[in-house]
A and B are shown apart, each in its own frame.
Chain A
Amino acid sequence: MAADSAYVLPDDELAQLQKLSGDYQPEITGPLVGERQSSAAITAEYANADPVYRTKTAALPDKYAYFRTCRGDGQCGWRAIAFTYYEALLREANVAKFDTEEARLMSMANLFNMAGLPTEMIMDFAEDVFGLMQKLAQTLRNGEGNADDVLLQTFNDEAESMSIITFFKFLASAWIQTHPNDFAGFVHGDLKSYCGNNIEPTASEIDYVAVAALAAALIKPTGFGLEIMYLDRSAGEEANVTPFVQTTEQSGLWQPTIRLLYRPGHYDILYKAEDFPVPVQPVPEQAPLHVALANPYNDTFIAAPSNVDLMAMMPGLYSTGLGQRWPSVSYDFDATPAPQPMQSYPPAPEAIAPVTSSHQEFVPVHASPAVQHAPANHHSIQLEAPPINLTMQQPASTTLERAALSLERPGPFRPSMYELEHMHALPLQTSIMKNSHYNTAHFLNPDFQPEAWSPEHGSGSKGKHRSTS
């Protein structure tokens, strides 16, 4: 009967409904690829999630010090692998390898031909793949030290980013179709239609088969490693790590490992602290050396390891956008004793102290962003930092605001008597969705809107703001 009544719907109306459903796009925000930030942000994100997530994310920052977000627009897995592939080339900092990689990927035209794919069309997209390689190699050759910025900017240009992703999609498709023995067992139906329906379409998210194909076609021949950490509700104390490719030493040279974080439906990028070997306690005299590094802003994260964890435990103080790192950097380099109270700050939430004393300790937290902008600090930044980063420095007010907003969440901090009345009315974030930073109720969301709970709405009314990738 239902089918019959659907039958009599006017075509116009049907088409209208079809169009609405076809055009529906969930709200997506954030940069296509974000800045590298402390992975304590992930722990904070899950602070109110269910215990399995809490346990697993609490263990995460010890092993993986940093992470990088990818926008949940359906391309995140493809984008994460493509970005980290280029980044691994930069980390290896072997200019000649850019040329060999370009030649190797160029030869994949044979693979496209063998798979019966439209090689000419695909190689149009390859031009952007090679263009970025040449640009990065040139930047390395010139010793400009901003190759990381070039990479990040390119991947945040949607047209270039999509072009590169399209090439890698077809690389995966061609690899699968030309290696039937490796893939036929994992795929329903024939490989050609599987790839046409699940790999090649622009809207296709990456799946396990495609990851395996890119691991074999793109990553393995470079000698890089690839491992994916699965953060889900399966039993265990830590998220499971699947090594897809082990690094293979090439002529005795160290090879970087690409690490991805998979949460059901979404990929981000992970790093270990040792992925970025940098001086432990940089002093201004070393400044010229930093500028020459392939990753000019790496040292900013590890500058003062004794402080880093505490800093990172503070919601709102880790970076949420391009270039926001500098305020906290200046903090690390600060020669004055102003921030010292922070170090005595207990990181564990269990340590409940009287509200009055907690508030007294709290003041420096509020004040610290302002302290960072004391003229003396600015002076020291200008000595050390590459000029490009200076221009991206965030106004202090933003940092202050974020720090203040973050106080609303029960994090590692005890409640302050200075919290406003209405903050107590905020709902506990009980569902996973609410803990996503794509949710406007999440403090990391650029359009942050505190969500006021009311009985009529119930819970989950914001659940539609889900990551779709």
Chain B
Amino acid sequence: MKFKIYRYNPETDAKPYVQEYELDNVEPGTMLLAALLRIKDEQDQTLSFRRSCGEGVCGSDGMNINGFNGLACITSLDSLKQPVEVKPLPGLPVIRDLIIDMDQFYKQYRAVKPYLVVNDPMPEVELTQTPKQRERLDGLYECVLCACCTTSCPSFWWNPDKFLGPAALLQASRFIEDSRDQAFEQRLENLEGPFKLFRCHTIMNCVHVCPKGLNPTKAIGRIKAKMISRSL
């Protein structure tokens, strides 16, 4: 099986290049991460990428695979056209090979104040929440912060410092929708203006690439609707 992998080491390379690798005896059902690990172990120790859980839960190994962002550990080679072209996630600076600098992504995540705010004194037991209220968080809380969505978004490519991007906005929605949260007004206010939220043009790349099957565009739409009904 053939692979074409993006390589770049700022210490030695004037510019990025593509390196070809070949693996024999790739069993059906093998995930891309397993192939990358084999290349690193058997052929080239210098090939660099992030990875951890290997089952799509930790969000470490987001990369661009044959033109689509995804997690290497849950992308089966069976489904990929050869040679498999692997690049770093687009739109953010490359540190080395498949590893991008995610600082801007995390900065936008922090910008939505992604934590529960409760101003009332806490009870000595749990805050109650009905199953129905809790259901509103489904599709929002499962995000693994892999950045596949945000780095597939043209609006983010153009304005990475001003548009918060789908991942951060999904988090904003996760707290706006939480019946326990008491910062509803401030959260909506925080998203005012032409850029932070409203740069979303419903291109929906985020939805197509999300490895967890989440729908940031829908979450953004829910926030927009709340902002509009609030301003009326």
A binds B: no
B interface list, Cβ under 8 A from A? none
